[in-house]
Amino acid sequence: MTTPKKKIAIVGGSGYGAAELLRILLFHPGIEIAAVCSQKNAGKPVADVHRNLRRLCDLKFTGDAPEEVAEGVDLMFLAAPNLASLELVPRLLETKARIVDLSGDFRLRDAAAFKRYYKHEHGAMEAQKQFIYGLPELFCDSIRSARAVASPGCFATAVTLALAPIAAEGAAEAAVVDAVTGSSGSGATPAENTHHPRRANAFYAYKTDGHQHLPEIVQALGDVGGPFRVHLQTHSAPLVRGIFVTALVPVAIDPRPLFARFYERAYFVRLPIDGGSASPDVANVANTNFADVGFAAGDGVTRIFVAIDNLVKGGAGQAVQSMNLMLGFDEATALKMPGGDP
């Protein structure tokens, strides 16, 4: 007897996050995509907006209210910009559909921190109590039973993966982190500082007054180890995809056995091969759900490097990883995608 497929829907269907969700889920053996919601594109073929899906996707966008769509599905992905979920989620929680939210709206348990970093009153903290932070390498058991998951930010994913074994071991209490991202992290709608002509030949620091992913990094590290200070500076690089993190930890340790123990069961975290290069490369993780790790040490400082694809492991791929756990699939289902070489 064939097991019925689980039905999912995507809200905010015209952005990069939705495009990546579709690219992955169209080939998931246990999933049926029941609806892709977009008010501005209602009635239009999905492949007219996401042209990489031509001949692969015959769905059309729906303009139906998400809470109406939710009544007929097992799980809703929310891929709309930050702040859009604040009003929507309380209504969705009245349905039976489980939720994976890719925005930053429900990641933080502290309303004051949310207001500081997102410049907006939260107003839905009761709903936030139903969310689990969706970093599977740290919180897989909680994700399996979650009603709703707040999928981590791209910088937060890379930085937390770099520092979680250190925090959990109590090997240090602070780190200085440089984090570099490609332009796709700013979303599909161009702005003065994010469109391609501005970024193609540029490299610069931004959000020097504090990135909104910082408090979720500190929150997650506290959950696995205890208070941990992170001094984070983000940079824009002339890349389309990719995040590269360099974390400087002011202790002299051998991180290899520590990371090997902590990520023993983490399929998507790839540690250095003995004798291999100390540094990972964003080229090897582009279009994949892998996080590649490297190490170096000297002068009493341990350096940890992490490379991810911001749209996959830092976005839609990780959200699918959480969905797999929530719906009873192997967490790697539909996510074993190799990168290119070169």
Q: Catalytic site residues?
A: 154
- Residue 121 burial class via C-beta count within 10 angstroms: exposed 0-12, middle 13-18, buried 19 and up: exposed
Omega before residue 165 within 30° of 0, cis: no
59-94 as b/e: b if 16+ CB within 10 A: bbbbeeebbebbeebbbbbbbbbeebbbebbeebbe
In angstroms, the Cα distances linking 109 to 84, 153, 167 are 18, 15, 20
For the chain, count helices (H), then strands (E). Answer: 13, 14
Tokens 């709608």 label which residue?
189
Rounded CA-CA distance 182/197 in Å is 13
Nearest of 248, 256, 253, 206 to residue 231 by alpha carbon = 248
Helix or strand run (H / E) with residue 181 = strand 174-181
Rounded CA-CA distance 150/184 in Å is 20
- Residue 275 burial class via C-beta count within 10 angstroms: exposed 0-12, middle 13-18, buried 19 and up: exposed
Rounded CA-CA distance 167/222 in Å is 8
